[in-house]
Structure formats: structure tokens, C-alpha cells
Structure 1
Amino acid sequence: MARKKAQRHFQLIHRDCAGIDIGSREHWVGVDPRHEQAVRSFSTFTDDLIKLADWLETLEIKVVAMEATGVYWIPLFELLDSRGFEVYLVNSRATRQITGRKSDVLDCQWIWQLMSHGLLRGAFRPADDICSLRALVRQRATKVRDQAKALNRIQKALTQMNIQLANVISDISGVTGMKILRAILKGERNPVTLAQFRDARIKADEETIARSLRGNWRLEHLHALDQEVACYDFLEAQIAACDAQITNVLALLPVLEETPQPNKKALRSPHRSSNEQTALHQALWKTTGVDLTAIPTIGVDIALVLASEIGPDLSKFPSMKHFCSWLGVAPPTRISGGKQLPGKVPRTINRAAQALKQAAANARNDQSFIGASHRARLARMDTSCAIKATAHQLARLIYTMLTKGQPYTERGIETFEEQSKERQYRALLRKARKLGMDLVKAA
């Protein structure tokens, strides 16, 4: 008689847990089937969300897992988190249902089952005060993008009138460009008079600017220009309001550095004056405890994005490798049969990683150790790969600075060149030994 094989079961990690399938109109909640009503539906109204939390408390639920569906999870997440539940915000890729078994009831039960066996990992979410800062910084970024679109529409209206102002000045949103545009909207049509608004820093002379301002003044194009300039000004005011609110929130965050030092490099940022940049630099240093702008390729805007997206506390990441993997800048580990699998890794949208890649792209012409490292990568790999590798280097530096409180120390291009020579010498020595030769240094 054949012996029965012993059945192996997954270990039960979270016995008192719940799985929630998030929707725009209703949320489905699944708990352990030992309870009388294991699956319930609640609407997205606030009073029903409170009933959902009360019901979970009566069942003595301690851990809750939910999918990150759009922005519909935010009210429920904040409510459950304030009530003391341990909430896991889970990527929908990790909770993908079996083919042919897709429904709201089955989804919440499937999430509960995966969570009960500890097969789900929660997404990183900073503290509540950092989340407030993050929302404001993201709102500001949205307004900046909208303003760039309005500027493109201004340029379109000028092109339709054959006003070639953008071909003689570098930025039509600068001092000279905006003075000329506002004078046009007030009724001025004389190109010579308009060219007199030229700033002394403009390379083109007044005659060239006057030639570029000769065009047709059709009513419909002037109307479009008027509306787009008004839209640009409106968004400029909203960006200033976002900056003021960001300053207020930064003042409420815990202070990790009481006496930050003045910035040692020139900080350049659109929409902010030098005094505003200095104040923001000092506030960020107090909040994070370190000066992120000391890294050569990181300015005050990128430092603000990093501070709002990750915050000063990185204790949720067990190691530097976990932090770089979360950012999506670490090399992928798609290996099967001992070989690297072809194809692209799943696309992830991480604003902190995007800021680091922007800083890495700025390293191309930077005269520092990071700049020299980036140029060496550009010589041997594609641009996108080099930018990702340099962003990985920046991520490791930031993790060390935030976790250990160590300031950034610039090693210089000379140090990189010495290390490069040493690596090249070791490579030549290995080749010489492989060919049975000796490598002798010149006197």
C-alpha cells in the first residue's frame, strides 16, 4: 500500500488580519472565515468608512492589507492608520488574481489569504508630516508643468503672428520677453519702441529685436496671447502660494540640525529669489539633519523633492540595497538557470528616482568626482544606463548621509583619475600575466 505524502501548509503569520478590495464607490472587506460574516461591503462615504473601522475593531483585527488603487485608498488608509491598525498598502501586481476568478468578493478574500500567510509587503509611506510636505511639493510640480504648457501656447500665438522673438532671446518668460509681451497686450505695435525694453544682458542688439517684432497683429492671435499670458501669471501666483505653504510646513517639522551653515555653492532655482533659496536651503538642512545640496549635482529643488518623498527617517529600509531597489536604480535581479533574463524590468514611477536621474544628467559637465565618474560611464555605456548608474551612486551617498548623519566630502577629479589609473594598471597586469609576460613600470 502506497504511503500518503505529508501535506505541507503555509505558515500562518497574521491570524487576525483583513483584506480590502478598494473601489471608487464601495470597498469589499474580507476576514477569516471563522467569523460569522467573513465578507462585507461598505460604501465610500465617511460614515460607512467609520463603520468599517468599528467592525474591524469588534473582530479584533490588527493588520489590514489593501490595494493601492488610484487615490481611492487614501481616505480609508488615513482613517485606519489613525485608529491604530497596521495598514499595508500593497502593489496590485502582488495581488493579481488567478485567471477566470476575478470579482470583488474573491479579490478581498485573496488579499486576506495572502496577507495571513505573510506573502504581501507594504509600500513605503513616510510619516504623516512628511506626507503633507510631499503633497505640497507634488502640487507645485503640477503647477510648474501647467505653466510650461502655457508658455508653449504663448510661443504658438507669437509664431502665428510671425513674431520671431524666441529666435533672438533665449527665454521669452524672462525680464525682456515679459516686458515686450505686456506692452503688446497694452496696444504697443511699434517694433522700435518694443525693442527698447531690451535688458542689458541680452546679446542681441535692439535692431535685431525690432526686426523680430515685425509681424501681423490679427485679432484672434492677440486674444489667444492675452489669455495665455493671463494663465501664465495666474499659475505664477499659485506657484508662489505653494512655496509659501511649503515654507510653513517645513517650519512645523522636527529640527534635526539646530545650526545649519550657509550654503557653499550658488543655488539656482526658477520662481525663487536668492533670499528664498537661502531660506529654503536652511529649512531643508534643519529638517533632514544634513546638507543634501553639498552633493555637487543636487540643487535646492532636487533636495526639496528628496526630502518630501523619503523624509529624514530611512529605518524602514533594512539596508542600502533595499533603498536603491525601492528607488528602481539598482541593477535588476531577473535570473533563471544562472543566467540573466532578457527584456525590460517592470516600469516604476518614483519621483525621488526621477529627481536623482535629473541630478545625474546634470553631472555631465560638473567638475567633481561624481562628474568624472559619470563621464567615464558615458564613454563605455549608453546614456540612459550611465544616468541610471550615476543615480545609483547618488542614492548610496544620500542613504549614508541620512542614516549616519555624515556630511558629504568632495574627493575631487584628481582622486578619480588616480583610482582610474590604478584600475587600468591592474587590468594590464592581469592581461600580461595571462600572456606570460611581465609588466614593468617606466622609470
Structure 2
Amino acid sequence: MARKNHQQPLRVVHDHCAGIDIGSREHWVGVDPDRCDNPVRRFSTFTDDLLGLADWLESLEINVVAMEATGVYWIPLFEILDARGFDVYLVNSRATRQITGRKSDVLDCQWIWQLMSYGLLRGAFRPSDATCSMRSIVRQRANKVRDQAQALNRMQKALSQMNIQLANVISNIAGVTGMKILRAIIEGERDPRKLAAYRDRRIKADHETIERSLRGNWRQEHLHALAQEVACHDFLEGQIAECDQAIMQALEQLPMLNDAPQPSTKVLRSPHRCALEQAALHQALWKIMGVDLTAIPTLGVDTVLVLSSEIGPDLTRFPTSEHFCSWLGLAPPTRISGGKALPGSGPKVLNRAAQALKQAASNARNDKSFIGASHRSRLARMDTSCAIKATAHQLARLIYAMLTKGQPYVEQGIEAFEAKSQQKQVRALLRKAQKLGLQLVKAA
């Protein structure tokens, strides 16, 4: 007797949909062949052709569009279609891989349309348009900070080639003392005693040690490289300040969820901002996010700025914290077949918000809080990378709870972690004693 097949056949979910294969010079669009005589059309990437593409889809009464994320070429078309009111799905290329057979742009757009019509594609998470605008500026600022760090490395290389050991006696050559000395060297000063006179009183190294570190060979080619890198450092410092101003202007354009933020309860530190700028940024982030994420230990203003620009205050797209952590790439893998975990790691996820949380988690080693104690406990029983990822997962769950419920963070303290750890140890001992047929008796 044949078994009954209870599997439901595929049914059309999106009747009015289209699939677009994105390219750098042209886009191929595929729709239902029953809607027109020419269901596959090619459009160039010029703006007038993109507008013509949107007009053609409107004439066919298309309301759902699926496109593959290809580089940055999808952004102009996505913005035009989104402004026209289309429900645009930006899908991962792994979900639209062509089946075995011939490969062409025509087949790709038809394949994307077919998958979308049956509801087999999921759109990528994309925050609001205003948040995306701020996200671009925050990412631009991160690029400038990275470029400035590279210029700083080249400055240190030039000093090492001249055997100037300044970087070995002060912690940061881009600080007050280091930049004063470097500018004096560029202006022509070579006397180590006069250069060491620029020492700030907060420097731990004494005057004599700094003077000895400033004796070297002043070769012209290295001095030329040093002067150019200092000029590059100063130029990037100005551009970072311009990005900070643009970020504050972008924050003012976002809707406010809390119009009465309070001053920060902890000291805020940022390498490129003064105390007043940090306080202003803290207040602005509290207003748009609705809660103070900096109240979470190890989360600073810069980390919260990255999180607010990458995810925004609205997390309704994620039904649970598990979905949110999975999108971040911080959730444990679920590659299981036949009741056993499959070998190898899951797909690599590049997420700027997750990277910011991992950086914050790595700073929890010396933090005197519940999260800090949890992180130190993880470091004692697992690898450092695994412990950092687990702590970042813990931070992500806290952020999700705060943003979805609108509740402030309440610090439990190290005492609460120690009590919780002691309860776990007692339960473990009780299980072990029960297995051995023994009974634990609490000492008087």
C-alpha cells in the first residue's frame, strides 16, 4: 500500500511580483509571462532607464520586487523603487543561486521571479531611510579613523628608521607631547634637550629618558615622509570633525522617542571627542533610541552610535531575541543532521553591529559588573574568541530587551553573579551525589 503524501504543493504567494538581476551596467527584469508579451527586459543603469523600469513595473501592477544584493549597484534602483511604493526585497545571493544548468542574466532574473512568486525568498533587514543616511556618515567616519591609524603607523615607521625611540617611552605619539615634539622636528628643531622640554607633566617617563629617545640620524628622506604623514594626520582629523558635525545633524532629523534624557551615570570616553561633545552625543542617542544603551557596562558612546546607525530603534522585524542574535551572527550554530552536529562552521556573517559588540565584549575582562564577572567566568572555561562571542551574545540580548520593552538597564552587580554561580555549583553537587547514592548535608 502506497504511503499518502501529506506535503502541500507549492502555491503562488506573490501574484504581482518581479525579479531583477542587478549588474554594474545593466539590469535584467523578469515578470510573469502571462502579464505581457515580453516578460524579460533589459534596462541600463542610467537614471532615466531606472525611472523607466519603475514605470514599466507600475504599468503591470507589480507591487513586490525581489533583487539580489550585488555590491553597491542595487542602491540607486532600490531607493527609486522604494520611493515609488514598491515592496522591495533585498535578498542574499546564497538564496538565489542558480540550479545546475546554463547561466545567464535572463535565466537569473526569471529564477529570482519564480522563487519570489512562491514566497521562497526573504528580504534583508534594512533600517529606515533616515537611519540609513546616518549609517553612511558613521561608516564614512570609521573609514577616516582607520586611515588616520594607518597614517600614525607610517609616522612611527619614519621615526623608527631614524632611530627615534619616542614611541617606546610615551604611550601615544599622537597625544599632546608626541604631536608637539613631531611638529617641532618638522619645523627644524634637532636638539634633544629642547625637544624633551615639550614633555607634559602627565607623562610617566622622565625628562632624561625622553631626551635619550630623541637622539637619532636625521635623514632627509625620513623627515620628508614624517612631515607628509603628520599633514595627512591633521587633514584626517579635520575630516573626522566634519563627520561628527554631520552625524549630529543627521541625529536631529530622526524622530525622538525620549524627550527628557538624563546625564550619563558613568564616565564616557572617546579618543576623538571632548567631554562636551560626548555628553551632547549621549543625549542625542538617548533621544532617538528611547533608552540609554550606554548604561550597559562596556558599551560606550562610539559603540552605541554604531548600533543606532546599523539597527535603529525599531526591532519589530525580529520576532524574538534569538532572531536578532542570529541576524547579528552571534547565535550558536544549528547545523544539525541526523541528530548530530555537522562538521565545520556556519556561513560567515559580516555585521558591523556584531563587530562593535565583540569589541565591547573584549573590554569586559576588567569590568567590575555582572557582565564583567560573566565574561571572566567564560574565559576560565573556553577559548578567548568563544568567550568574546558569548559575551557579545549576552549584550545583544540585553539591547533587544531594552529596545523592545523600553525598560532601562539595571545593574545586578558581582554579588548577584557569585550567588548565581554558587547555586549552580550546589545543584551540580546534588546531581553528582544523587548519582553516587550519597546525600549532602549542609554544615551548621
TM range (shorter): over 0.9
Instruction: Tell me, in whole angstroms, the C-alpha distance in 2 between the residues paired with 1:81 and 1:245.
Output: 24
Instruction: Tell me, in whole angstroms, the C-alpha distance in 2 between the residues paired with 1:399 and 1:203.
Output: 43
Percentage identity across paired residues of the two chains: 77
Aligned letter for 2:88? V
Query: Counterpart in 1 of 2:10?
Result: 10
Q: CA-to-partner distance for each residue in 1:373-421, whole Å, 9 max, x for gaps? A: 1111111111111111111110110000001100000000000000100
Q: 1:438 to 1:149 in 2, by over 3 A?
A: same
Quote the offset at 1:9 in angstroms.
3.6
TM-score, normalising length: structure 1: 0.98
Aligned letter for 1:431? K
Query: Counterpart in 2 of 1:23?
Result: 23
Q: Secondary structure at the match of 1:19?
A: strand
| Structure 1 position 419 matched with structure 2 position 420 | yes
Q: CA-to-partner distance for each residue in 1:166-207, whole Å, 9 max, x for gaps? A: 000000000000000000000100000000000000011111
Query: Counterpart in 2 of 1:327?
Result: 328
Query: Counterpart in 1 of 2:282?
Result: 281
Q: Secondary structure at the match of 2:200?
A: coil
Instruction: Tell me, in whole angstroms, the C-alpha distance in 1 between the residues paired with 2:256 and 2:162.
Output: 54
Q: CA-to-partner distance for each residue in 1:324-378, whole Å, 9 max, x for gaps? A: 1101101111110011111011111000000111111111110000000111111
Query: Counterpart in 2 of 1:260?
Result: 261
Quote the offset at 1:27 in angstroms.
0.3
| Pairing of 1:4-153 with structure 2 (within 5 A) | 9-34=9-34, 35-153=36-154
Aligned letter for 1:436? G
Aligned letter for 2:341? Q
Unaligned 5+ segments in structure 2 are: none
Instruction: Tell me, in whole angstroms, the C-alpha distance in 1 between the residues paired with 2:292 and 2:9.
Output: 50
Instruction: Tell me, in whole angstroms, the C-alpha distance in 2 between the residues paired with 1:101 and 1:378.
Output: 50
Aligned letter for 1:78? E
Q: Secondary structure at the match of 2:42?
A: strand
Q: CA-to-partner distance for each residue in 1:91-125, whole Å, 9 max, x for gaps? A: 00110112332110000000000000000000000
Q: CA-to-partner distance for each residue in 1:293-326, whole Å, 9 max, x for gaps? A: 0001100000000010000010111111111110
Quote the offset at 1:6 in angstroms.
11
Quote the offset at 1:268 in angstroms.
0.4
Aligned letter for 1:32? D
Quote the offset at 1:433 in angstroms.
0.4
Aligned letter for 1:183? A
Aligned letter for 2:427? R
Query: Counterpart in 1 of 2:373?
Result: 372
Aligned letter for 2:220? L
Q: Secondary structure at the match of 1:178?
A: helix
Q: Secondary structure at the match of 2:251?
A: helix
Instruction: Tell me, in whole angstroms, the C-alpha distance in 1 between the residues paired with 2:128 and 2:66.
Output: 18
Q: CA-to-partner distance for each residue in 1:278-300, whole Å, 9 max, x for gaps? A: 00000000010000000011000
Query: Counterpart in 2 of 1:430?
Result: 431
| Pairing of 1:253-402 with structure 2 (within 5 A) | 253-402=254-403
Q: 1:413 to 1:8 in 2, by over 3 A?
A: closer
Aligned letter for 1:379? A
Query: Counterpart in 2 of 1:164?
Result: 165
Instruction: Tell me, in whole angstroms, the C-alpha distance in 1 between the residues paired with 2:319 and 2:56.
Output: 34
Instruction: Tell me, in whole angstroms, the C-alpha distance in 2 between the residues paired with 1:218 and 1:382.
Output: 46
Aligned letter for 2:117? S
Quote the offset at 1:8 in angstroms.
6.4
Instruction: Tell me, in whole angstroms, the C-alpha distance in 2 between the residues paired with 1:9 and 1:305.
Output: 44
Aligned letter for 1:308? S
Instruction: Tell me, in whole angstroms, the C-alpha distance in 2 between the residues paired with 1:7 and 1:192.
Output: 85
Instruction: Tell me, in whole angstroms, the C-alpha distance in 2 between the residues paired with 1:53 and 1:108.
Output: 16
Instruction: Tell me, in whole angstroms, the C-alpha distance in 2 between the residues paired with 1:63 and 1:101.
Output: 26
Q: Secondary structure at the match of 1:192?
A: helix
**95-104 or 216-225: which moved more?**
95-104
Instruction: Tell me, in whole angstroms, the C-alpha distance in 1 between the residues paired with 2:49 and 2:256.
Output: 38
Instruction: Tell me, in whole angstroms, the C-alpha distance in 2 between the residues paired with 1:238 and 1:166.
Output: 25
Q: Secondary structure at the match of 2:43?
A: strand
Instruction: Tell me, in whole angstroms, the C-alpha distance in 1 between the residues paired with 2:72 and 2:316.
Output: 26
Instruction: Tell me, in whole angstroms, the C-alpha distance in 2 between the residues paired with 1:268 and 1:290.
Output: 19
Q: CA-to-partner distance for each residue in 1:202-258, whole Å, 9 max, x for gaps? A: 011111111111111111111101111110000000000000000011111111111
TM-score, normalising length: structure 2: 0.98
**251-260 or 283-292: which moved more?**
251-260
Query: Counterpart in 1 of 2:209?
Result: 208
Instruction: Tell me, in whole angstroms, the C-alpha distance in 1 between the residues paired with 2:397 and 2:352.
Output: 17
Aligned letter for 1:65? A
Instruction: Tell me, in whole angstroms, the C-alpha distance in 1 between the residues paired with 2:130 and 2:410.
Output: 30
Q: Secondary structure at the match of 2:149?
A: helix
Q: Secondary structure at the match of 2:145?
A: helix
Q: 1:195 to 1:6 in 2, by over 3 A?
A: closer
